[in-house]
Structure 1
């Protein structure tokens, strides 16, 4: 397509200056008035403002990215509501290598770069989620139909779909009545290609080679398409077959601090100083922050994706009938293999989130020590900078009080004691020459190995019939079947040793040095000798989920043909979805430890003990499970040393199962792998509480009136959609299994002795109080039977969703758009789980007769009324609704040239948040009031903001400079009144604000939604001239809350602002062959995280948390098209 250019030199100069003004305004994020003035000047130019060729040498061929932008712009301009579109008019030329990466270029859209947002220890090699205008309730569609993965979320995994299969992606930010409900944030429709999209036969084959600069791996991408159409006497036929295969091995590396320990007025001790660890800990006033651990993580991702899209089309010769059949399937496999080295400075597990160490606080023995002759350094904010760190021996370990006792716990390869007991209370105030030494030891070190294998399979078959019996009447019939399977195996082995830690963050990134541990008598070789390690724990997890849905839809539209009424459209839709989520809890179990010592643990303490022991019945660890390897990188500051990891290949072959208690006959927690645990359903790997079966039936109907058009300056639509949702679930209630001694037991029985403490020999000392649980009634004992029962639920919800959209064309270039609608978003499938778990009851403190839960008769305790709590999901959750408004001013000054400003506002009702209710539950005929923590529909709140976008090619420039172009957009988002949903489905990686056991059931307050950046912008430089196409895209976002409660830090975690630069070069050797080179993360951007250590009411103080770096990826390819 050749477009003549009639602009004179003066007009070129004027346009050039105005365009530079717009670019400058965008970069500065100033008010749009200057840009509006600039575009107003452009509108005064000749009506024909499209680019032109003054000679053959100046010809602009509209193809490649220019044609894609032209198509996207036309879609946005002609849309019935607020839409942004990405188009790949050239097959296989989608602008990025994943759908999420492409969407982040759209105004208002940001992406999640973590494998799961509530687990910030695992950075994702590719974006795992999409957030629209600060909200994650995004509806996914495939060709305008439902699509989903069979986990606990509602949508499709963003990595599942091959971008090579797509013709475009449309993001709807408001609603019309005909649109399928489900996205209060927005609706993202993935469009595959159809045979009638092309004029005739199309054949294309592409081949790429991927390379990552950290993984050092080359991997292939291959895609191909065949499409053709034929005219016959029976009508026109078309077929299309598109296949894409992609294999990527990419890596990420991370340095992560554990939960920050807060020290208030503490003096850190040198154990070799006066009085050793018995010295006073009172220090200067002020807060100091030390991480509880530091970990170095190396993760390799191995992702393969197979995608297939097939379509057949038929159209009658008179055009009144059209039939389309489509089939898509996606097979996504991702295996990540992680090795990490973690040093533990202190232990804060189960401590409340606001806990601070002080000179008078509990757990003084968990305060770290300075290595003899060294000091700790802190910055002006109190953050730890550098120091050599030891632990107190009594911190969270017990090694016996004599060498003989210690010898029963662990010995080295020569038979000597591995552990050297030395405690301040047994050592006196000052170490004595030749005594036990110092009350200090080298911190624990964990060489952890983890494997995660994920498989997601989705297939979609659909049939569509369009019939136009008259020029005014049109019918649409649509049927679809979609099914999905998700399989996941996640396993970890932690192998613990000891090492002194020197930590230094003075140069920016933390640097660690490990040295021989104090008070540990290790075997020769130190950390490279497996004999110096123990199997601390094994953990596994399994998911095997399936979902399917049948859908039918009917639409009818009649052209009214009046002056201002265009048409009326009505329709109905029915969908029946069945989903069976089988998601096992993370199954963690201790094997050998230093805190809960079993008899003769020395027989199985060392991981290289392959010989059985008659003393304990230990059968011996299997040989060949250990992999000693060097560990380090430039990002880690070099080689950290050699460590004994679990063999990754063996781990993938389920070798963790060999550490089962049933095989080894030892293990403190008697760990059993999933599929061998007690309580699993026969023939299953899951316990009843790990199953979630839900059936959801949706009925919808709508009516929509289109108006305007027909030469008028306005056009729009008004309508209403009625939606009925019926959820049916199967689940159960589980009660705790508790037994207590009975105060009324016979004299001399064990229960009687437990409930009647013996008075002390010293009569001046009080008799210990009777344990409160001795007074438990027979009814409470029956209520805590450990049994449960099956429950079923049925919940029906109805919603009316009105919508109004209008567009007013000021002139041929300027238009104003307004959209108002009510939208809805259903709860994630996992939140609808029909499940209640009652926790063990809470009793008063022993002897605290002021507690009203004690029953007092005549001044004596005669009974007790324990309190009960529990956790649940909520099968009765209502959909969240939003009343939303968009107002846009749009200027289209060229075929590829636009400037748009959009303001938006959303007001919510029934937003899902975490809360608690009192519920009456009955077990064995006994009814008790239980305080249940569960997701609930909360009060309303609001999100608002604005978007500014500018796109153009500089066609007014001379010669080859006409090929220069730019895209820029900026987004501002604010929220008020919305707190985080504070709920986490049982799978799907959704965010969480739920209290964790690791924080003692407490959480900190935050003032932002997860994933919401107030500011974000994109800047894309383009060049397309003849056979050469260049593109450089920079994406930036301001700081944001990643998760309100991290799974393992137990605190809110924030990401600092960050920007990523990607670029591509394409060159057409001939009209049939094209070469390309692409690069992502060219700036080698680091993701920097902070953890919030105080609530909003206390200033929301943040301290360092993590630094991540992933591959710079390069792709070289060749494409043949015919």
Structure 2
């Protein structure tokens, strides 16, 4: 395991060691009558101290030593925190932590707000875990914390020079093996630090760098939206049939270089000056290879089967569910439909698509300040500047052909599809034509932030132990630019052979297969390398009749925002005895004002119009907490705080992006913002009961969130210039409630004899019961992305230089997309149409062995049971997506001198 559990559980608090003096042996050994706790137990103790003594409800992850974080990435470690849920990204990385199902999280780095490009949030995967010394997950708020997270705040802490008493060099290396890609990827990190006595005070310098390159492969199968089979006729009559089925495979590689540095100068006994810097980057050169059979472009369907799930649906002339305008006009009929579970589609159009992608992210942060410790009076002045830039390039070419037969089976105990095309014609390069067109997309988004923050406290001799005060000024800017250009193939879709473009003989390459299609056989796609080359792009632009060279950014796909925030707070920390017990806590209030200007291009009566929106918000955010210490390791606490989450800049963008699909089976789509979005607000209540003993910890907590102006995204049909588009827009849903229970615990079995005393267990279980209220169309439904049940269960071993962990993480079903406004044909008595993700769990393990005090070898595995994302729409039998997550195995070493 090599680090603290993500839950903070107490060992002997007095035995926690300084980070620069941790012993290599991760065991508890007797020295006289004292238990000396080292290694992993020391980090557990330090994490428990943080949790026990905090004014908020907080769980921490504390690294056992340099580079000894419990999981390979920050987001992966966060999934072990009680109440934290995660998702898996397209490149198989764990991303998007949610606190009790909510993603409105403020991320800070050493107490400074941090973000990625134009978003509010931070891509946790952009900061490697090797760089971190600690992570604090704040589930309740106090006035001294920066506002901006309804769900909570996650503070990432880097190593600092003064954390180490001796000169230190630490290096680590890993080889990662991804089972889907079947390739190795290297990972290295190094840290150097020293401190010196000089004539003007002690100085310390720390430099840390890391880099890794991971190969990945993530196949997904999809069953598209349903359409009434009367359009197909024959055996398709009376059937609800997917318009298409197929899959995609994201594969390639990504790398993440990172460098951070810390300089500290003790200029006087009561004055410290510091400077911090961070550079982190992402480089991804990869492909999304599509593979689709267009079932409604078939001559006929035969051998049709159904599972008997039938319903009365509203159907338009083209076989889709009517939009709101068609409902009002009565432009539909009612039809009895049954779910198709199998059939043979004859002479079917099919296509493969290469989405060649080149993505880059660069983030810089520089900060400095002073800390004054005058005994009773403490002051900290901090100035910081961050800049984050994202540049994404996507170049797409689709190629297709007719196939004789496609045999589908959507009815099996695994709730996944089986698709067979005899002979696998898509696995051979002959006969392909250009279909759907040439598509180019270039995006550049950046964000920067300058902030000044001052925090102070004054200690008194009364029951009001401390008076805390401070303020912050932040100036945030962001700019988003994009161009999307789609050009139909010459001669129309499907009429021109690919060879007519003069492409090289190796234009087609094999893409990795998808398990649900042709039993995972390879399929042919245009070459990613050719599509990303200057030669290939120039040739295809000329052939398709697209403008020469990279297209300029589209002024109608641009938004720019500036936001200034002013905040100030005051808070009192109290403490007084109640007999043998002690009551303490904090009461405070934070005031914040936000002035924002955002400009973008909207569409008014079919005409693009530049729109500028100015908004200002004033908010008072009170907080109060009380902790009652009963003695003997038992304590209880209650907290209240009002919290706020500002809408993302993209959600506020008054512009509208839409594009006509060159694929006749896919509806035109787009997305728009909503400049009238209000900030989300929450009244947040927490109560916990915690008990600590020498080798363990148990806690139970209840929470309640009354959320106003919750933001969700809806898809609805909109008509622009006579063309119907499925447009996704954010909106406020009024009121929502979230309540639940968290139970967590851990212990080591010290009472067992000999080496058996090194065993331990940990676990946590969270109930998150959410409901949207008011008159919203989603009233009575759960919040988007919230699983009702979530748990971790693990077995630990830590003794004689061996650290091991096996942990299983589970989350129950949740909905991740509202498709109510889409064209899916559906039961007429189900007005809300949601995409649900089925329950799933992941099993991970880690093993570390200290060969010597300075050298450790490690073996790790993640998702060893091959957990998958599987979804359905409203009804369990309307299966949709299956995404095959990767298993990652690693061997490595850590050395310290």
TM-score range, shorter chain: 0.7 to 0.9
Match of 1:1030 in 2: 804
What are the residue-to-residue correspondences of 1:97-246 with 2, within 5 Å? 97-114=72-89, 123-151=90-118, 153-246=119-212
Q: Secondary structure at the match of 1:713?
A: strand
Report the counterpart of residue 74 of structure 1 in structure 2.
49
Aligned twin of 2:572: 705
Query: For residues 649 and 901 of structure 1, what CA distance do their matches in structure 2 show?
Result: 54
Shift in Å at residue 542 of structure 1?
1.2
Give the 5 Å matches for 1:501-520: 501-505=406-410, 508=414, 509-515=416-422
Q: 1:783 — aligned with what? A: none
Following the alignment from structure 2 to structure 1, what is the Cα–Cα distance between the partners of residues 265 and 677? 44
Q: More displaced, 971-980 or 816-825?
A: 971-980
* Distance (whole Å) between structure 2 residues aligned to residue 530 and residue 156 of structure 1: 45
Contact 2:714/2:820 (CA < 8 Å) preserved in 1?
no
Indicate the residue corresponding to 1:427 in structure 2.
none
Question: 1:546 aligns to what?
Answer: 446
1:492 aligns with 2:266: no
- Determine the structure 2 residue equivalent to 1:793: 613
In the TM superposition, residue 262 of structure 1 has moved relative to its aligned partner by 4.9
Q: Which moved more, 1:162-171 or 1:548-557?
A: 548-557
- What SS does structure 1 have at the residue aligned with 2:498? coil
8 Å CA contact retained: 1:702, 1:720 = yes
Asked if the contact 1:465–1:477 (Cα under 8 Å) also holds between the matched residues in 2, the reply is yes
Name the CA shift for 1:978/1:691 in 2 (closer, same or farther; >3 Å).
farther
3-state DSSP of counterpart to 1:159: helix
Q: Which of 276, 294, 310 is equivalent to 2:261?
A: 310
Give 1 or 2 for the bigger CA radius of gyration.
1
Match of 1:648 among 501, 522, 528: 528
Which has the larger strand fraction? 2
Aligned: 1:899 with 2:698: yes
Whether 1:948 aligns to 2:743 is yes
Q: Among residues 787, 796, 799, which one is paired with 1:1013 in the alignment?
A: 787
Report the Cα offset of residue 793 of structure 1.
3.0
1:362 and 2:266 are equivalent in the alignment: no
Q: 1:1048 to 1:59 in 2, by over 3 A?
A: farther
Of 704-713 and 454-463, deviating more is 704-713
Partners of 1:836 and 1:222 lie apart in 2 by 43
> In structure 2, what is the Cα distance between the partners aligned to 1:933 and 1:526?
33
3-state SS of paired residue (1:721): strand
Change (3 A) 1:365 1:110: closer
Task: State the 1:299 CA deviation.
Answer: 2.3
Q: Kindly state the Cα deviation for residue 689 of structure 1 after the two structures are TM-superposed.
A: 1.9
Query: Matched residues in 2 for 1:52 and 1:359: separation?
Result: 68
Measured at CA, do residues 980 and 697 of structure 1 come closer, stay the same or move farther in structure 2, by a change above 3 Å? farther
> Where do residues 583-598 of structure 1 align in structure 2 (5 Å cutoff)?
583-585=482-484, 587-591=485-489
Name the structure 1 match of 2:350. Answer: 445
Select the residue among 800, 807, 814 that pairs with 2:634.
Answer: 814
Say if 2:804 is the partner of 1:804.
no
For residue 813 of structure 2, the aligned residue among 1039, 1042, 1053 is 1039
After superposition, what is the alpha-carbon deviation per residue over 1:843-887, rounded to whole angstroms, capped at 9, x for unaligned? xxxxxxxxxxxxxxxxxxxxxxxxxxx996343533211111001
CA offsets per residue over residues 1035-1088 of structure 1, 9 Å max, x none? 000011122249999763221100101101100111011100101111122221
Distance (Å, rounded) in 2 between the aligned partners of 1:883 and 1:52:
43
User: What do residues 891-947 of structure 1 show as CA deviations (whole Å, max 9, x unaligned)?
Assistant: 1112x411111111111223335799xxxxxxxxxxxxxxx9965544222111111
Q: Which residue of 1 aligns with 2:301?
A: none
Are 1:626 and 2:496 an aligned pair? no
CA contact (8 A) 1:824 1:879 kept: yes
TM-score, normalising length from structure 2?
0.84
Take 2:623 and 2:218, find their aligned partners in 1: how far apart are those partners?
45
Is 1:572 the equivalent of 2:471? yes
Q: Residue 120 of structure 1 aligns with which residue? A: none
- Counterpart CA distance in 1 for 2:297 and 2:783 is 29
Shift of 1:223: 0.3
CA distance in 2 between counterparts of 1:838 and 1:309 reads 40
Call closer, same or farther: CA 1:261–1:205 in 2, change over 3 Å. same
Q: How does 1:860-1009 map to 2 (within 5 A)?
A: 873-894=673-694, 896-912=695-711, 935-977=730-772, 1007-1009=781-783
Residue 843 of structure 1 is matched in structure 2 by none
Q: What are the residue-to-residue correspondences of 1:361-380 with 2, within 5 Å?
A: 362-363=317-318
Q: Which secondary structure does the structure 1 equivalent of 2:483 belong to?
A: coil
Query: 2:234 is paired with a residue of what secondary structure?
Result: coil
Does the alignment pair 1:731 with 2:630?
Answer: no
Structure 1 position 307, deviation (Å):
1.0
Report the CA distance shift for 1:825/1:342 in structure 2 as closer, same or farther (over 3 A): same
Distance 1:980 1:333 in 2: 45
Aligned mates of 1:482, 1:360 — CA distance in 2:
52
TM-score, normalisation: structure 1: 0.68
Contact 1:713/1:808 (<8 A) preserved = yes
Residues in 2 aligned to 1:77 and 1:360: alpha-carbon distance in whole angstroms: 59
Unaligned runs of 5+ in 2: 1-6, 8-26, 299-309, 322-336, 661-669, 716-726, 825-832
| 1:561 Cα offset (Å) | 1.2
User: Does the C-alpha gap of structure 1 residues 540 and 493 become closer, same or farther in structure 2, counting only changes over 3 Å?
Assistant: same
Counterpart of 1:255? 221
State the Cα deviation string for residues 269-315 of structure 1 (Å, max 9, x = none): 36xxxxxxxxxx877xxxx5433222133321411011111001122
CA contact (8 A) 2:29 2:37 kept: no
2:273 to 323, 348, 371: 323
Change (3 A) 1:1005 1:346: farther
Structure 2 residue 275 is matched with structure 1 residue 292: no
| CA 1:1026–1:628: 2 relative to 1, 3 Å | closer
| Distance in 1 of aligned mates of 2:692 and 2:296 | 61
CA–CA separation in structure 2 for the residues paired with 1:559 and 1:690: 54
> Offset at 1:656?
6.3
* 1:487-517 CA distance string (max 9 Å, x none): 1112222111111212235664533332479
2:362 paired residue number:
457
SS class of match (2:431): helix
- Kept after mapping to 1: 8 A contact 2:426/2:524: no
**Residue 474 and residue 1004 in structure 1: after superposition, are their counterparts in 2 closer, same or farther (change >3 A)?**
closer
1:1028 deviates by 0.7
CA distance in structure 1 between the partners assigned to 2:253 and 2:656 by the alignment: 38
The whole-number CA distance in structure 1 between the counterparts of 2:520 and 2:789 is: 38
Question: In the alignment, is the contact (CA less than 8 A) between 1:200 and 1:229 conserved in 2?
Answer: yes
**SS at 2:55 equivalent:** coil
Gaps of 5+ in 1: 1-25, 27-50, 115-122, 271-280, 349-354, 367-380, 391-441, 518-524, 611-620, 677-684, 738-785, 841-869, 917-931, 982-1002, 1093-1099
Q: Identify if the C-alpha distance between structure 1 residues 888 and 526 changes in structure 2 by more than 3 Å, giving closer, same or farther.
A: closer
Equivalent of 1:476 in 367, 380, 401: 380
Could you say what the CA RMSD is over the residues aligned between the two structures, in angstroms? 3.6
Confirm or deny: 8 A CA contact 2:88 2:885 kept in the other structure: no
CA distance in 2 between counterparts of 1:252 and 1:1024 reads 34
Aligned residues of 2:713 and 2:818 also touching (Cα < 8 A): no
SS in 2 for 1:362: coil
SS of the residue corresponding to residue 215 of structure 1 reads coil
Q: How does 1:842-853 map to 2 (within 5 A)?
A: none
SS in 1 for 2:497: coil
Aligned pair in 2 of structure 1 residues 460, 466: CA closer, same or farther (>3 Å)?
same
| Structure 1 residue 734, shift from structure 2 partner | 4.2
Task: Map 1:1062-1077; keep pairs closer than 5 Å.
Answer: 1062-1077=844-859
Q: How many correspondences in the alignment?
A: 815
Retained in 2: the 8 A contact 1:314–1:322? yes
CA shift at 1:464, angstroms? Answer: 2.3
